[in-house]
Amino acid sequence: MSALAGALARCPAIAIVRARSVRYVPAVLDVLAGAGVTAVEVALTTPGGLRAIEGAATTPGLVVGAGTVLHAAQARAAVDAGARYLVTPAVVPDVIAAGVDAGVPVVCGALSPTEILASARAGAALVKVFPIGTVGGVGYLRAVRAPLPDIPLVPTGGISVAESVGYLRAGARAVGMGGPLVGDAADGGDLAALAGRAETLVRTLRPEPADA
């Protein structure tokens, strides 16, 4: 089992941290980890994102990946910095190949059934259905899962804390959550509010007990 798979087994959500600088990123990661979020993606559009990944790679209880990875050189640099997984916003075959070569799972962005299938066949460990919020939400996820039930999907884009569990019930492997979860905290905003949202998310996604 990869580190990412283990993290998602504990809390089936990937928190997406994208900021104007890395100044507040360590504090955000500490809050997320303290709330019980176990997988966090630091977007490489954040200036100094690789340094943030390197600094957070050993944070207890947190599996940190690199997001917005657009080419193989970025993928290799992220892995060298300690990223435990790679995330793309679209189908990027050379990033998938770089991840496979490095033994690091890739969460490949896709939207249409054609893209989803192509991502899985190229070696993506998970397929990020993005941007789910603009194409029908849970209904779209159910529709694409009908012919592709064995591909593990991570719907991402505009999902609120309250909506998250609905995606899991519709068959998602996990959910990806950026702004609706992190809010303004990564740019110096309210960490207490972030902690509240993260704690609510973890409670919401906690597996329901099996029937006795």
Q: 41, 115, 163, 199: which is the annotated catalytic residue?
A: 41
* pLDDT for residue 206: 86
Contact of 20 with 47, CB cutoff 8 Å: yes
b/e map 130-157, b = 16+ CB within 10 Å: bebbebebbebbeebbeeeeebbbbbbb
* Homologous superfamily assigned to 3-205: Aldolase class I (3.20.20.70)
For residue range 33-78, list pLDDT tens digits in order. 999 999 999 999 999 999 999 999 878 889 999 999 999 999 999 9
7 band by pLDDT with thresholds 50, 70 and 90: very high
Q: 54, 115, 128, 163: which is the annotated catalytic residue?
A: 128
For residue range 198-212, list pLDDT tens digits in order. 999 999 998 654 443
For this structure, is 54 an active site residue?
no
For this structure, is 208 an active site residue?
no
Cα Rg of the chain, angstroms = 16
